């Protein structure tokens, strides 16, 4: 089975999981995450939002065995939760992207997608690569 996730814009290779849960008569709720959660993520961050009433909510137990617990100061409180984690799978560890990359002197003033900025292809970084192949056709076979 393949694990497929959608993309989220972030400087980190991050996954986001979220949902809603209602605490019990003692103000407790447990949230079960997918069984692969801890093998795929590290550096967890939590967010809680209480809905429908004024109440306090805390993470009473941090993530362990793909589960965490919420505690509210009142019973039967609906809580919206979000947990993020930094990817630690083999692909993410070996293919981590840099947040910023410097342009070469030839690329300064050019764009990867100039049309999105109102410019024509004369402002494209692709013309550098295209011109390089015209000047050195043997490189297209490399």
Q: What is the pLDDT of residues 23-37, one digit of tens each?
A: 999 999 999 999 999
Are the beta carbons of 81 and 32 closer than 8 angstroms? no
What is the number of alpha carbons within 13 Å of residue 118 lying toward its C-beta?
0
Number of other residues whose CB lies within 10 A of the CB of residue 60: 14
Please state, in angstroms and rounded to a whole number, the distance separating the CA atoms of residues 12 and 114.
26
Task: Write down all domains in the chain, each with its CATH number in brackets.
Answer: 14-94 (2.60.40), 105-137 (no CATH)
117: left (phi over 0), alpha (psi -120 to 50) or beta: alpha
The pLDDT mean for the chain works out to 89
What pTM was estimated for this model as a whole? 0.73
Confidence at 139, pLDDT banded by 50, 70, 90: very low
Q: What is the pLDDT of residues 49-98, one digit of tens each?
A: 999 999 999 999 999 999 999 999 999 999 999 999 999 999 889 988 88
């Amino acid at each position: 089975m393949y694990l497929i996730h959608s993309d989220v814009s972030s400087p980190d290779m991050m996954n986001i999981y979220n949902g809603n849960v209602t605490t019990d008569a003692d103000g407790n709720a447990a949230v079960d995450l997918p069984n692969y959660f801890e093998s795929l993520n590290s550096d967890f961050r939590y967010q809680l939002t209480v809905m429908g009433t004024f109440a306090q909510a805390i993470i009473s137990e941090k993530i362990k065995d793909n589960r965490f617990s919420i505690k509210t100061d009142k019973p039967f409180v609906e809580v919206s939760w979000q947990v993020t984690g930094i990817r630690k799978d083999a692909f993410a560890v070996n293919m981590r992207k840099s947040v910023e990359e410097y342009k070469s002197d030839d690329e300064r003033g050019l764009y990867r997608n100039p049309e999105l900025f109102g410019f024509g292809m004369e402002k494209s970084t692709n013309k550098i690569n295209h011109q390089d192949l015209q000047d050195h056709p043997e490189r297209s076979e490399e």
